[in-house]
Amino acid sequence: MNNFFKIIIIGAGFIACSCSFKSTVAYQYATVTNVNDNAGIDSLITPYRQELKQKMQQKITFAATDFINERPGGNLGNLVADMLLQKAKEDLQAENCIALLNFGGLRSTINKGDVFLEDLYKLMPFDNELVYVRVKREVLDEMHAYLKNSKGEPVSGFRIGNGQLLPFFTAEEYWIATSDFLLNGGDKMYFLKNNREVIQTGIPIRELLIKAFQAYDTLPDPNESRIVW
């Protein structure tokens, strides 16, 4: 006797927007009369799978070298943090900005050669959003202690050397460009809760990176030591 049930086919697509790409999901109900009819199910799903694969193979830019996430710092973390810092300076029209991410938030490498949309989703598969956190100068001391304990995270806008954290811009307050995950205490970065103001941009960091990568024919290589213990 045939079994009767319905499956839901999910079609994933991408819509160009001012940030970059936004994912959309379309639902279609399909009636299947036999649970063993794998060929029938595959024939329904295949067009959506092919469309998603085609979207993910869109070329974004080119990498002249491998970008690797390392501690206390590496060119991948430097690159991503630099892009957050640049966005913060543009949005806030301020120079007293720094950027901080977490080592574990970058989940893949960017390999030498063409860089595709799929690579950005592998790099940052989570939907973490960009936030700006305004803090007193003293909070940077707490951040310094955290970075020393963790052995380093992706940073931009300052260096650590000779036992000191040295911002590129001297101020009594700073804006930290980071993720909502870290703001909420992710990776035990509790010092971010000691803030005076938070601006939630609503921009997924992955979308910011896609747009920033697209601005380059070849990615810059910030291969420098920003944290030296």
Token code pair at residue 155 = 């940073």
pLDDT over 80 (residue 20): no
User: H-helix or E-strand containing 88?
Assistant: helix 75-92
Residue spans per domain, the chain: 5-56, 61-214
Query: Which residue do the tokens 């954290």 mark?
Result: 165
Of these ranges, 1-5, 34-38, 67-71, the one predicted with the greatest mean pLDDT is: 67-71
Collapsed DSSP state (helix, strand, coil) of residue 27? strand
Residue 15's pLDDT band (cuts 50, 70, 90): very low
How many H helices and E strands in the chain? Answer: 6, 11
Asked whether the whole model's pTM tops 0.85, one would answer: no
Q: What's the rounded Cα separation, in Å, for the pair 100 and 43? A: 46
CA pair distance 12, 47, nearest whole angstrom = 11
How confident is the model over 106-150, as pLDDT tens digits? 999 999 999 999 999 999 999 999 999 999 999 999 999 999 999
Check pLDDT > 50 for residue 38: yes
Output the pLDDT for position 80.
98
Residue 151's pLDDT is: 96
**Would you call the peptide bond into 72 cis, given omega within 30 degrees of 0 as the criterion?**
yes
Write out pLDDT tens, residues 49-69. Answer: 777 778 999 999 999 999 999
User: Is the pLDDT confidence value at 82 over 60?
Assistant: yes
Half-sphere exposure of 45 (CA within 13 A, CB side): 11
Specify the range with the lowest mean pLDDT, choosing from 27-31, 97-101, 170-174. 27-31
Least confident of 3-7, 65-69, 88-92: 3-7
User: CA 202: distance to chain centroid?
Assistant: 13
Mean pLDDT calculated for residue range 148-172? 97
Assign a CATH topology to domain 61-214: 5'-nucleotidase;  domain 2 (3.90.780)
Give the mean pLDDT of the chain.
87
| Distance from C-alpha of 54 to C-alpha of 48, rounded to nearest angstrom | 10
Q: What is the pLDDT of residue 31?
A: 54
46: which 2 tokens? Answer: 């295949």
**Residue 47's pLDDT is what?**
72
- Does 9 have pLDDT greater than 50? no
Please tell me the least confidently modeled range out of 49-53, 56-60, 151-155, 167-171.
Answer: 49-53
